[in-house]
């Protein structure tokens, strides 16, 4: 059994991680931290874990951490992760960081977008960007993972197959994203901001969100040329899920009637996406005229993608959805752990709806797990 620890278990992603890891057959949860006045049983923080895990949660203590677990999930805000990650790495532990501290390879970009000095440039160089569908080979070899942002996960998965076929004008990408409020962390429901979320819908950080450089970094690597995107996030008055509607202009070449054989059609693009993701257990490409819905991905590790080609407007419209706390954070972190540790990639990950077989167990909340 792999002994794992969660640093920052009291937040949204920490709680989700705990729930997923408790269903995982190859791990033992052996260390939990939160900022507490005195040690407290995890079931006192979260009554839903009563009779499922008998473990005490305490403030972070390095020597106790090092003796208790071999792999750590850091479910902390950015800047807090880079205080702890180097200590665990120095102690020879595997680390999966859910924060943004190790995602941007250019530390100057990190410092500009996150308004904080990068204190661990040595590990920044070594951390592997943990998007399994794109970086699987590197993740299998890695000891340190920078788990991607939720919006970035969805945008990159939605655009990766397109960037490689060169049918799209890569300078024209517009990402219109909508997220449930859990994307902003538990604090968002505890402060007066919650009053602004309820029964409301609004854009925020318009063309100025910190996931923009992360999306650009990964798409540029895939395209082997610099790509800029326009990214506009919105806040939905629901707890979880992200839906993105992405607009991309098609190259004139791909639309010319004279080039019938090369002309981009929905059918061809869908085939292209299916080929690109043919070995990926968590990406589902919709058929012609079908588009994702948050309900189909909530509480699962799936990413659903639908495609529309508007020939007369020379426009591609890609609509995609994930659960921000599962594929957008904790589920993806478990997927990364599975790859790093040689477990089955889908071990312990929710597969509600499509993919559930009679062998898979139905659990209390109605989701199916492997």
Ligand X SMILES: NC(=O)c1ccc[n+]([C@@H]2O[C@H](COP(=O)([O-])OP(=O)(O)OC[C@H]3O[C@@H](n4cnc5c(N)ncnc54)[C@H](OP(=O)(O)O)[C@@H]3O)[C@@H](O)[C@H]2O)c1
In the complex, which residues of this chain contact ligand X (CB under 6 A)?
Answer: 8, 10-14, 34-35, 75-78, 80, 98-99, 149-150, 182-183, 185-187, 324-325, 328-329
For β-strands 202-203 and 230-235, DSSP reports them as: antiparallel
Which among 55, 123, 54, 52 has a CA at the least distance from the CA of 94? 123
Provide, rounded to whole angstroms, the least separation between the CB of residue 309 and ligand X: 31
State both tokens at 324: 């921000």
CA-CA distance, 77 to 95, in Å (whole number)?
Answer: 15
Phi-psi region of 105 (alpha: psi -120 to 50; beta: other; left: phi over 0): alpha
Q: Which two tokens stand for residue 9?
A: 């278990």
Q: Which CB atom, from 35 or from 226, has the smaller least distance to ligand X?
A: 35
Nearest CB to ligand X, comparing residues 99 and 301? 99
Q: Which SS3 state, helix, strand or coil, does residue 235 take?
A: strand
Minimum distance of ligand X from residue 10's CB (angstroms): 3
Nearer of residues 140 and 186 to ligand X, judged by Cβ: 186
User: What are the structure tokens assigned to 184, written together?
Assistant: 């902003």
Distance CA 155, CA 212 (A): 10
105 vs 186, beta carbon nearer ligand X: 186
10 Å CB burial of residue 41 (0-12, 13-18, 19+) is middle
Pairing of strands 361-362, 368-369: antiparallel
CA 282 to chain centre: 12
Identity of the residue, 80 or 222, whose beta carbon is nearer to ligand X in the bound complex? 80
> What is the rounded distance in angstroms from the CA atom of residue 43 to the CA atom of residue 53?
7
Check residue 59 and report its DSSP letter. S
CB half-sphere exposure, 191, CA atoms < 13 A:
7
Q: What is the DSSP letter of 148?
A: P
Distance from C-alpha of 267 to C-alpha of 287, rounded to nearest angstrom? 8
Residue 22 beta carbon to ligand X: minimum distance, rounded to whole angstroms: 17
Q: How far is the CB of 16 from ligand X (least distance, A)?
A: 8
Nearer to ligand X (CB atom), residue 24 or residue 78: 78
Residue of closest CB approach to ligand X: 11
Smallest gap from Cβ 364 to ligand X, in A, equals 22
Q: Please give the positions annotated as active site.
A: 150
35 vs 344 by CB, closer to ligand X: 35
CB of 322 to ligand X, least distance (A): 10
Q: How far is the CB of 112 from ligand X (least distance, A)?
A: 17
Contacts with 252 (C-beta within 8 Å, 6 or more apart), sequence order: 314
**Residue with smaller CB distance to ligand X, 2 or 40:** 40
CA distance 14 to 35: 13
Asked if residues 347 and 25 have their Cβ atoms less than 8 Å apart, the reply is yes
Give 262's DSSP letter.
T
* Closest CB 368 distance from ligand X, rounded Å: 22
C-alpha distance from residue 277 to each of 55, 166, 259, 274, 351 (Å) = 39, 17, 27, 5, 17
């Amino acid at each position: 059994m792999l002994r794992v620890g969660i640093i920052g278990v009291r937040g949204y992603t920490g709680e989700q991680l705990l729930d997923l890891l408790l269903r995982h057959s190859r791990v033992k949860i052996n260390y939990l931290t939160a900022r507490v006045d005195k040690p407290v049983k995890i079931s006192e923080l979260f009554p839903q874990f009563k009779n499922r895990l008998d473990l005490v949660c305490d403030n972070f203590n390095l020597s106790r951490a090092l003796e208790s677990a071999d792999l750590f999930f850091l479910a902390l805000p950015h800047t807090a992760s880079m205080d702890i990650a180097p200590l665990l790495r120095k102690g020879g532990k595997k680390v999966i960081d859910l924060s943004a501290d190790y995602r941007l390879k250019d530390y100057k970009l990190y410092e500009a977008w996150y308004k904080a000095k990068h204190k661990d440039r040595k590990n920044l160089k070594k951390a592997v960007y943990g998007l399994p569908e794109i970086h699987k080979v590197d993740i299998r070899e890695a000891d340190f993972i920078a788990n991607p942002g939720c919006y970035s996960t969805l945008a990159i998965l939605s655009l990766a197959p397109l960037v490689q076929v060169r049918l799209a004008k890569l300078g024209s990408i517009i990402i219109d994203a909508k997220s449930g409020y859990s994307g902003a962390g538990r604090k968002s429901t505890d402060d007066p901001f919650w009053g602004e979320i309820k029964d409301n819908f609004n854009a925020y950080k318009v063309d100025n969100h910190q996931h923009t450089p992360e999306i650009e970094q990964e798409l540029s690597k895939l395209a082997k040329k610099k790509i800029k995107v326009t990214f506009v996030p919105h806040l939905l008055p629901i707890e979880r899920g992200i839906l993105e509607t992405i607009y991309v202009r098609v190259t004139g070449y791909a639309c010319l009637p004279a080039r019938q054989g090369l002309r981009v059609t929905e059918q061809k693009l869908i085939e292209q996406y299916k080929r690109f993701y043919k070995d990926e257990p968590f990406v589902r490409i919709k058929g012609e005229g079908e588009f994702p819905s948050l309900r189909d991905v909530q509480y699962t590790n799936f990413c659903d993608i639908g495609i529309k080609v508007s020939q007369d407007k020379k426009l591609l419209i890609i609509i995609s959805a994930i659960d921000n706390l599962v594929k957008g954070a904790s589920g993806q972190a478990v997927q990364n752990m599975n790859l790093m540790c040689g477990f089955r990639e889908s071990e312990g990950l929710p597969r509600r709806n499509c993919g559930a077989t009679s062998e898979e167990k139905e659990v209390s909340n109605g989701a199916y797990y492997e």
